[in-house]
Amino acid sequence: MPTFDRKDKSRYATFTRRSLMMTGGMTAVFAVLGGRLFQLQIEDGADYMTQAEANRVSQRLVAPSRGRILDRFGVELANNRRNYRVLLVAEQASDGVEAALDRLAKIIELPDRQREKVLHDLQENKKFLPVPVAENLSWEEFARINLQLPYLPGVQPDVGETRAYPYSAGLAHVLGYVAAVSPNDKKDADDPLLDLPGFRIGKRGIEKEYDEDVRGAAGVSRVEVNAYGRVIRELSRTPGEPGKDVWLTIDQQLQQFVDQRLGNESTACVVMDVATGDVLAMSSTPGFDPNLFNVGISNDDWKVLTTDDHKPLIDKVLAGVYPPGSTFKPTVALAAVQAGLDKDFSVNCTGSLRFGNHDFHCWKKGGHGHVDLHRGIQVSCDVFFYETARRIGIDAIEDAAHKIGFGHATGIEIPGERSGVIPGRAWKLKTYGVPWLQGETLNTGIGQGYVLVTPIQLCTVAARIASGRAVTPRITRVVGEAWQTRLAAGPLPIKDDAFAIVRAGMNAVTNEPGGTAFAWRIPDPGFEMAGKTGTAQVRVISKEEHINGVKKNESLPWKLRDHALFIAFAPVDQPRYALSIIMEHGAVTAHPHVQMARDILLFAQQRDPVKLPTAYPVKAASAAGVGRA
Amino acid sequence: MNTRPYALARRTIGSFDKLGEINWGLVLLLVLIACAGFAMLYSDANAHLWPWAGPQIIRFFAGLVILVSVALVDTRFWLRAAYPAYAISLVLLALVLVIGHKGLGAERWIALGPVEIQPSEMMKIALILALARFLNGLSVEDVSKPHNLAIALVMIGLPALLVAKQPNLGTTLILVADGASLLFLAGLSWWWIGPVLGAVVVAVPTAWRFVLHDYQKQRVMTFLNPESDALGAGWNITQAKIAIGSGGLTGKGFLEGTQSRLNFLPEKQTDFIFTTFAEEFGFAGSIALLILFAVVIGYGVQIAMSARSQFARLIAIGITLNFFFYIMINALMVMGLIPVVGIPMPLVSYGGTAMLTVMFGFGLLMSCHVHRQVEIARHSAGII
């Protein structure tokens, strides 16, 4: 047995003493730990509880369903359809996003360009944020992805809503389109929806004009999120308010007929109810597919749209301004009667009129001979209207033109309308700083010179001539449940007999032999139309050409041909429909635009949408059920 | 003076009898603490045994086998094994710096055939063994002699430096604390202790300036003001405090902790596992767990004081203190009282090597208990 010496005993005593000291120290530490726990959990427990709750719960905006746009009979012109899409969350793609995309590409089509965009988006965004890989998938593709989901880490299928325009091109300019919110859009707005990723707002047309109505109000979803911001489950949901439906005056069937009839020509056409100004069809061709802008237009598509010389992106109805040419003559005729010109006033047309030291040519080289107001309109005699304009003066023409509806925007509920130009003394002095010349009055008399009008103005004028009332065009009937009621149009401050003479003249254009559009009249009894042709020069005709014979439009390149115009109303006796049409560079002998007008007006009268009962909006909640599951 | 190197109180005791000598109450405490860990690992995996709780349970039972096996081995074997174990651990530590694997920005792992080992964990046991052996040969007066103190400091300093190089601040701290504690308990003179404490006061600013890595400084800075960078580096501390505090008096309930289940807690299955526990079981549960720890430590101190040999006393107190330092640093850290250092909560945190090391340590503690009557002479130092 070992023996213990004094030193062993001493170090044992030391060990025991110091062990007890350390035990005291350890006890103190445990006391500190206990105290700290008391402080955190008991004293400040409520505070930390609140913080934990704030961590856990996140409020998310829920995009409301966008209101639909419908025609006068309830046909959906713009609605929402389910958008089946696939999102990718980088953080959850266990073996990298490249591998995840490779696997997806085996299930759905994933072009290289799109793949690059996705990789770029993934890099730009936080790793936990879902980035769209493909949108607007078919149900079949979507189902396949859902089936494979266990083998697709990081891939999230998602069902959203996207704007859809079932009748793509024809109504593009009327409806406009929706697109992503730009920084500019957010500047003066405080709607939190605008910050929602992927949110779309109206950028043109009705979509823009009534954006705040159709947009609706955001709902709020309280969700439990984890530290990476991923949603674990929904705790509660306050539904937003779906957007209001907008009911248009458009008749989709007539619209479709117009679109088909115009084809791919560079054309603008409006059909209107002469009594109310309701626009029944409004077409600017060629159009574009508004669905393209919703998903983000591709460079190729954009290039095609912007380089096309038929300018599909320009709304020719509202933003196209043209010299009215001879379609302005009825207005000059109204001004003449209003100014008190003798009803039997006549001119002998020899083919040109000498004014000052300048020859003003009639379109008909040999002249029309004896021409009065009625015949002046029927054969569209330039010399007659030169002389008329000279006699009544620019002030009378300017006044009548404004009264009949030119020179200012019609106020239709679509943004981007231009007002055109009705020249006058004050206008010229203000615009060019020089006084009005008499010769310019003559040019104005045949709708050339400074005069510029839009197709919507032309149609309004046709409707006003037909009804004698101050109708103004409108295109929305109901927004939500609010009727866009208006006062009935009052009479125009123009003498009734002036209208009578002009209507008779326009009737002669189409229905009396010798009229400029007699060949393209509507022969069906009871459906006859009255109209006025017009040609707008787009090039300067030289003196030699006048002497040697003006070149035929058919012999010129398309770009240099004259614009062809036509205004009309029907039926002649009790007009109900007014129409204006302009075909850019379309002035050829066959008068294709008048043929179009004839067919459209005949169709309109036979269908007679004004007489058909219109649809009434039902309660918005049940009416706008598309994709609102 | 006894010339025989070893002396035994009871030579004839057999392994079967030794099993009866094991303090099964202490083992039961360890099982209880480990169960708290299993529950938390199960909760952190959203009520799944995989990936953490299952492996941890298997390791714990492996650890229990190790504990019992080590406990049955005579302390005199551990005396002989002390220096070789220290030497091997030191070589492996040096090797880590040369061929080690990176893990979380530090080289800590070394591949030994198919097994990956963490030499810094081995060193925690080996240092205690070696120091206990060395100090076993010294009287109270000898400990304070400069050449003996120098040897002891080198024994502590070498592994501490190698571990610090990895870099692994937490383990370095533990090694230094273990070593210093053993020197203190062996009777190091207050004349040495006083000036060293003074030197530490001077050294801290120096270390800040020249020694600490940026990530280590970052930890200290964010500790001092965690809310200043609540989404960046201060995230860990802020979220840990929210988790603990939101537990309140009785906690949110088992499997109901939002902070951990929604991944707001960093390292929720390892260093920060105590926060999950505090969140789900509240003040009452946390205090209960701390009491379990305290009782284990009490047992350890009692075992140390009742052992007859200085070697066994130092081993027992060394293992106990090591256990305590782990708990202290980890708990102070997750409660936001000291900067974040990578120290797990023993028996509770997920981790294989740490679990086996702790159980091996408790095996040694238990060996000291089983062989508490074994006497080892002071002058047996030279013999291996």
Q: pLDDT (tens digit, 9 = 90+) per residue, A270-312?
A: 999 999 999 999 999 898 988 888 777 788 888 888 888 888 8
Mean pLDDT for B116-133 is: 91
Residue from A4, A6, A17, A30 to probe the interface with B (highest B Cβ count within 10 Å): A30
**CA nearest to A375, candidates A366, A365, A385, A386:** A385
What are the residue numbers of the active site of A? 326
To the nearest whole Å, the CA of A207 is away from the closest chain B CA by: 41
Q: Which of B139, B182, B246, B299 to mutate to test the interface with A (most CBs of A within 10 A)?
A: B246
Give yes or no for residue B106 having a pLDDT over 80.
no
Per-residue pLDDT tens over the stretch B26-70 = 999 999 999 999 999 999 888 889 889 999 999 999 999 999 999
Query: Residue B383: is its pLDDT beyond 70?
Result: no
> Residue ranges per domain, chain A?
60-89+98-248, 252-290+318-607
Interface mutation target, options B76, B145, B242, B263, chain A, most CBs of A under 10 Å = B242
Mean pLDDT of A343-361: 90
Q: A256-270, A524-538, B228-242, B295-309: which range is least confident on average?
A: B228-242
pLDDT at B233 > cutoff 70:
no
Residues 6+ apart with CB under 8 A from B302: none
Q: Could you tell me which chain B residue has the CA closest to the CA of A51? A: B242
Instruction: Give the homologous superfamily in CATH for domain A252-290+318-607.
Output: DD-peptidase/beta-lactamase superfamily (3.40.710.10)
Are A48 and B317 an interchain contact pair (Cβ–Cβ within 8 Å)? no
Tally the C-alpha atoms within 13 A of residue A202's C-alpha that lie toward its C-beta. Answer: 27
Q: Which residue has the higher pLDDT, A11 or B266?
A: A11
Q: Given an 8 Å threshold on Cβ–Cβ distance, is B249 in contact with A45?
A: yes
Q: Is the pLDDT of residue A621 over 80?
A: no
ipTM value for the complex: 0.91
pLDDT over 90 at A465, yes or no: yes
Q: Which residues contact B304 (CB under 8 A, 6 or more apart)?
A: A15, A19, B312, B313, B314, B316, B317, B320, B368
For the residues A572-597, what does the mean pLDDT come to?
Answer: 93
The mean pLDDT value for A76-86 works out to 89
Inter-chain touch A18–B185, beta carbons under 8 Å: yes
Note the pLDDT of residue B123.
94
Report the amino acid identity of residue A536: A
Cβ atoms of residues B357 and B171 within 8 Å = no
Identify the closest residue of chain A to B322 by CA–CA distance: A26
Q: What is the pLDDT of residue B229?
A: 56
Q: Do B310 and A8 touch (CB under 8 A)?
A: yes
Which residues of chain A make contact with B136, given a CB cutoff of 8 A? none
CB atoms within 10 A of CB A325: 26
pLDDT band at A624 (very low <50, low <70, confident <90, very high): very low
Closest chain B residue to A15, measured at CA: B185
pLDDT confidence band for B223 (50 / 70 / 90)? low
Say yes or no to pLDDT of A114 above 80: yes
Q: Which residues of B touch A31 (CB under 8 A)?
A: none
CA gyration radius, chain A:
37
Residue A542 has pLDDT above 80, yes or no: no
* 8 Å CB contact of B305 and A26: no
**In chain B, which residues have their Cβ closer than 8 Å to the Cβ of A232?**
262
A2 and B324: CB-CB below 8 Å?
no
Q: What is the pLDDT of residues B62-77, one digit of tens each?
A: 999 999 999 999 999 9
User: What percent of chain A is predicted at pLDDT more than 70?
Assistant: 96
- Are A475 and A412 in contact, with CB atoms under 8 Å apart? yes
| A482 SS3 class | strand
When pLDDT is averaged across residues A43-61 and rounded to a whole number, the result is 85
- Residue A214: pLDDT band (50, 70, 90) is very high
A585 Cβ neighbours under 8 A, 6+ residues apart? A266, A538, A558, A559, A560, A561, A562, A563
What average pLDDT does range B78-107 have in this prediction? 83
Shortest CA distance from B239: residue in chain A: A52
Q: How far apart are CA A16 and CA B230, in angstroms?
A: 46
Considering only the beta carbons, identify the residue of A27, A46, A226 that sits closest to B263.
Answer: A226
Nearest CB to B290; choose among A15, A30, A42: A30
Average model confidence (pLDDT) for chain A?
88
Closest residue, chain B, to A18 (C-alpha)? B185
pLDDT tens-digit profile of B313-371? 999 999 999 999 999 999 998 998 887 778 899 999 998 888 999 999 999 999 999 99
CA distance A316 to A459: 13
Chain A residue whose CA is closest to B310: A12
**Measured distance CA(A144)–CA(A139) in Å, rounded:** 9
Please report residues of B whose CB lies closer than 8 A to that of A26.
294, 297, 324, 328
Rounded to two decimals, the pTM is: 0.65
- Asked if A59 and B357 count as a contact pair (C-beta separation under 8 A), the reply is no
Least confident of A532-546, B60-74, B284-298: A532-546
Burial of B82 (0-12, 13-18, 19+ CB in 10 A): buried
Taking contacts as CB-CB distances below 8 angstroms, the residues of chain B near A45 are: 245-249, 283
Q: Residue B314: its chain A contacts at CB < 8 A?
A: 15
- Mean pLDDT for A483-498 is 89
pLDDT at A469: 94
Give the closest residue to A604 by CA, choosing from A459, A415, A455, A469. Answer: A459
Is the Cβ of B258 closer than 8 Å to some Cβ of chain A? Answer: yes
Which of A7, A12, A15 is the best residue to mutate to test the B interface, defined by the most B CB atoms within 10 Å of its own CB? A15
Contacts of A52 in chain B (CB under 8 A): 242-243, 245-246, 258-259, 264, 279
Backbone angles phi, psi at B217, to 5 degrees: -60, -40
Report CA A229 to chain centroid distance, whole Å.
38
Residues A383-395 pLDDT 10s:
999 999 999 999 9
The whole-angstrom distance between B94's CA and the closest CA on chain A is 33
> What is the reported pLDDT for B262?
81
Strand order of the sheet with strand B115-117?
A: B101-103, B106-112, B115-117
**Is A225 within 8 Å of B337 when comparing Cβ atoms?**
no
- For residue B212, what pLDDT band results from cuts at 50, 70 and 90? confident
DSSP state of B48: -
pLDDT at A197 over 80: no
- Interval A409-449: pLDDT, tens: 999 999 999 999 999 999 999 999 999 999 999 999 999 99
CB nearest to A55's CB, from B242, B314, B321: B242
Contact between chains at B2 and A1 (C-beta distance less than 8 A): yes
- Residues of B numbered 105-164 whose beta carbons fall under 8 angstroms of chain A's beta carbons: which are they? 139-141
B179: confidence class by pLDDT, cuts 50, 70, 90: very high
- State the count of interchain CB pairs (< 8 A) between A and B: 159
Which residue matches tokens 């009434």? A616
Per-residue pLDDT for A196 more than 80?
no
Mean pLDDT score across all residues of chain B:
86
pLDDT (average), residues B3-24:
66
Closest Cβ opposite residue B262 in set A32, A33, A56: A56
Contact B185 A7 (CB under 8 A): no
Cβ neighbours of A56 in B, within 8 Å? 258, 262
The residue among A26, A50, A128, A222 with the most chain B CBs within 10 A of its CB, best to mutate, is: A26
Contact A49 B7 (CB under 8 A): no
Q: What is the least distance, in Å, from the CA of B250 to any CA of chain A?
A: 9
Instruction: Provide the residue count of chain A.
Output: 629
Q: For the ranges A351-365, B350-364, B370-384, which has the lowest average pLDDT?
A: B370-384
Q: Among all residues of chain A, which has the CA nearest to that of B279? A: A41
| B318–A contact, CB cutoff 8 A | no
How confident is the model at residue B105, as a pLDDT?
Answer: 54
Cβ of A40 within 8 Å of Cβ of B139? The answer is no
User: Which chain A residue shows the shortest CA-CA distance from B327?
Assistant: A30
Which of B263, B264, B313 is facing A15, going by the closest CB pair?
Answer: B313
| Contact B27/A at CB under 8 A | no
| pLDDT score at A628 | 35
| Position with higher pLDDT, A628 vs B187 | B187
Superfamily for A60-89+98-248? Answer: Penicillin-binding protein 2a (Domain 2) (3.90.1310.10)
pLDDT for A363-406, tens place per residue?
Answer: 988 899 999 999 999 999 999 999 999 999 999 999 999 999 99
